[in-house]
Chains A and B, each alone.
Chain A
Amino acid sequence: MLVTHQKVLRRFWYPVIPADRLTDAPAPFTLLGTKLVLFRDAAGKASALIDRCCHRTAKLSQGWLDSGNIVCPYHGWTYAGDGRCVRIPQRPGGDPGKGIAVEAFRCSERHGVVWVALEEPLRDIPDLPEYDDPAYRRVFEFYEPWQAPGLRIMENSFDNAHFAFVHKASFGIVDEPEPVQPRLEPHPAGFVMYADVPVKNPEIQKANLGIASDRTIRQYEKTWWMPFSRKMKVTYPNGLVHIIMTLTAPIDDRQSQVIQFLLRSDSEADAPAENLIKFDRQVTHEDMTILEACDHDVPLSMTVELHMPTDRPGLEMRRMLAKLLAEHGEAEVRRDGPVQQALASAAE
């Protein structure tokens, strides 16, 4: 599936930037191949406009903010957060007249993240009660592009069989490759998966978890936020809850922008944020190395790749996405074969 070619994917909310990183300067962001400029309007509301002035196509993200309006760097045409042109400096009094505007997109702020939907969203941004629960502290981890599509990142997150290999240096038990079978249940955001997985407990994790043994059990409750985000709730035998939010936005057919943060039921004194980030950095790098080497054109059809029982969550994602496309009258768009590709690139 080539995500920029599936129109219905424009109808979801995507996490584009941590809210505290969008301050007094415009930020460019590419979402599903559409170039956007993000900024805060006069009321402080996060806004997303097409990154292209309607006058001479200059990039608004190269401009600057003036009282919450964005100024094009080429001639100073100025736009409000809703896309309306509010000033054309070359005209008497700067009066822009009526009807001049650039395209504006739905933009919202939830769970400390700015979200954008390119077209009318099919569903709301899922709830995350632990974000506002004082029993949990928040630890920001990563904001970075991955050269991998969201679907690969998602199915990897729900795949119990990869730990023993990809994560053998961190928490996977290399001698026990037979995976725990997951249990799936429906959920309004997508689905939820349960599994109790034995893991290795290295020194850094002993301190991070307050668990002294060489092994422990992760009680997983993972929720897929269709299409490309997930909530991973881990409960450890000592009662500690460690929630990893991995929110991704599709930049284009190949790349994703990843936001990751934690919600933890302990305190900074129990486990310094720095050490939590250090361990998760190792784990995410292990995943990144593999996922960036996979084909970005993930087939929704079950017959293109080979499967095993623990692939079920990923297959369920594919099935649900295929159903979504069908419901909206779309066929899955895939890359042509290698010969057609070569011809097409030669013709360009």
Chain B
Amino acid sequence: MLNNRQPVLRRFWYPVMPVAMVDQGPQPFTLLGEKIVLWKDAAGRYSAMVDRCPHRSTALSKGWVEGNALVCPYHGWAYDSTGACVRVPQRPDSNGLKGTAVRRFACEARYGHLWVALGEPLAPIPDWSEESESGYRRIDQFYERWNCAGFRLMENSFDSAHINFVHRNTFGDIKNPEPPPRTLERFDYGFVSRADLPVLNNELQKKNLRDASDTTVRHSTSHWYMPYVRRLHIRYPSGLDHIIITAATPISDDSCQVVQFCFRNDTEEQAKAADIIAFDRRVTEEDREILEGTDFDVPLDMHSSVERHMPSDQPGLLMRRMLLELLAAHGETEQTRHYRFAPDARPTHGVIPSAARDLS
């Protein structure tokens, strides 16, 4: 699926940037190929608009904020948070140009980040009660571009089988490759999955988890919020909660912006945020190295023969199925460059034409 070419994906909320960055001044971001500007006016309102002045197409994100208006750096045309043009300096007697406006998008500040929806949202921004619950702290972890499809990061998050290979140097046990069972339960625009994963407990984690044993069990409850947000709630035997929110916000077909923060029910004295980030850093780097080597045009159609499957792939297969259902419900078909679907395209070498059977 080439996500820039699936209009229904514009109808979801995506976290696009830490609020603190936008507080510094107007910022550019590319969401599903759409160039947007994020900014805050004097009244503290956050806005997301098309990053293009209607006059000479200049990037408004290179401009500045004056009062409640965003000023274009080319000729000073100014726009308020609704996108309306409120001032044209070359016509001082007017209050802007009537009917001239920059398109704006739904924009909300939640969990320390700005969230944007390019179209009418189909599902709300998820409610994570830990944000306001006493006893929990939020640690902002990562904000960075990955050169892979957001989908790859999502299915990776629910894939118990990769841990013992990709994370063999952090918490995976390569000697025990058979993954434990996992439950799957759908809800509107997502699913929840549970698994108990035996993992290795390295030195840094012994400190972070305050658990000296060499192995531990992760009781994990994971939510997938269609299309590119997941919540991974890990409860350790000690009662410690480590809740990781990871979004793979789609920049384009072949890249995503990874936004990650976590909630913890311990304190800075018990485990330093820097150490917690350091461990998750190593883990995400391990994933990143592999995922950036994968094909960004993930085939949703499981009969496409482009990929083979195994039972532990069920969460990723359900994501594919639910996305195909979503596309169908909105009158879309999967857009892909794989030749099976686009006969004019050059064949993708390496496809096995005979592979029709799924392992599951």
A contacts, CB < 8 Å to B: 34-35, 50, 52, 54-59, 62, 72-76, 88-92, 94, 97, 99-103
B308 touches A57 (CB 8 A): no
A75 touches B165 (CB 8 A): yes
A74 touches B308 (CB 8 A): no
Q: Which residue of B lies closest to A98 (CB)?
A: B357
Q: Which residue of A lies closest to B295 (CB)?
A: A57
A73 touches B310 (CB 8 A): no
A-B contact pairs, 22 of them (CB 8 A): A35-B350, A50-B350, A54-B307, A54-B352, A54-B355, A56-B152, A56-B307, A58-B294, A59-B294, A62-B289, A73-B165, A75-B162, A76-B164, A76-B177, A89-B164, A89-B165, A89-B178, A90-B179, A90-B310, A99-B354, A100-B355, A101-B352
B310 touches A74 (CB 8 A): no
A102 touches B350 (CB 8 A): yes
The residue that A55 contacts in the complex, of B310, B311, B354, with Cβ under 8 A, is B310
Tell me whether chain B's interface is mostly helix, strand or loop, or mixed: loop
The verdict on B60 contacting chain A, using a C-beta distance below 8 Å, is: no
The residue that B165 contacts in the complex, of A50, A76, A102, with Cβ under 8 A, is A76
The interface bits of chain B over 333-360 (1 if a CB of A lies within 8 angstroms of the residue's CB, else 0) are 0000000000000000110101101010
Distance (whole angstroms) from the CB of A8 to the closest CB of chain B: 15
A74 touches B166 (CB 8 A): yes
The residue that A73 contacts in the complex, of B155, B159, B290, with Cβ under 8 A, is B290
Q: A34-B349, A58-B293, A100-B355 are in contact. Are A74 and B162 (CB under 8 A)?
A: yes
The residue that B293 contacts in the complex, of A62, A76, A92, A100, with Cβ under 8 A, is A62
B290 touches A74 (CB 8 A): yes
Q: Which residue of B lies closest to A90 (CB)?
A: B161
Q: Which residue of B lies closest to A71 (CB)?
A: B165
The verdict on B272 contacting chain A, using a C-beta distance below 8 Å, is: no
Complex-state Cα separation, A90 to B359, whole angstroms = 11
Q: Which residue of B lies closest to A85 (CB)?
A: B308
Q: Which residue of A lies closest to B354 (CB)?
A: A99
The residue that A54 contacts in the complex, of B159, B178, B308, B311, with Cβ under 8 A, is B308
* Chain A residues near B293 (CB-CB < 8 A): 58-59, 62
Q: A75-B161, A92-B178 are in contact. Are A99 and B355 (CB under 8 A)?
A: yes
The interface bits of chain B over 280-298 (1 if a CB of A lies within 8 angstroms of the residue's CB, else 0) are 0000000001100111000
B294 touches A90 (CB 8 A): no
A74 touches B289 (CB 8 A): no
The verdict on B216 contacting chain A, using a C-beta distance below 8 Å, is: no
A103 touches B350 (CB 8 A): yes
The verdict on B312 contacting chain A, using a C-beta distance below 8 Å, is: yes
Q: Which residue of A lies closest to B178 (CB)?
A: A90
Distance (whole angstroms) from the CB of B133 to the closest CB of chain A: 36
* Chain A residues near B145 (CB-CB < 8 A): none
Complex-state Cα separation, A99 to B309, whole angstroms = 13
B309 touches A55 (CB 8 A): yes
* Chain B residues near A55 (CB-CB < 8 A): 307-310, 313
B307 touches A91 (CB 8 A): no
* Chain A residues near B174 (CB-CB < 8 A): 76
Distance (whole angstroms) from the CB of B180 to the closest CB of chain A: 11
A89 touches B177 (CB 8 A): yes
Distance (whole angstroms) from the CB of A191 to the closest CB of chain B: 31
Complex-state Cα separation, A34 to B350, whole angstroms = 9
A50 touches B312 (CB 8 A): no
* Chain B residues near A34 (CB-CB < 8 A): 349-350
The interface bits of chain B over 300-312 (1 if a CB of A lies within 8 angstroms of the residue's CB, else 0) are 0000001111111
* Chain B residues near A62 (CB-CB < 8 A): 289-290, 293
Among B166, B178, B293, B307, the one with the most A-chain Cβ atoms within 10 Å of its Cβ is B293
* Chain A residues near B350 (CB-CB < 8 A): 34-35, 50, 52, 54, 102-103
Q: Which residue of B lies closest to A62 (CB)?
A: B293
A52 touches B354 (CB 8 A): no
Distance (whole angstroms) from the CB of B287 to the closest CB of chain A: 10
* Chain A residues near B179 (CB-CB < 8 A): 90
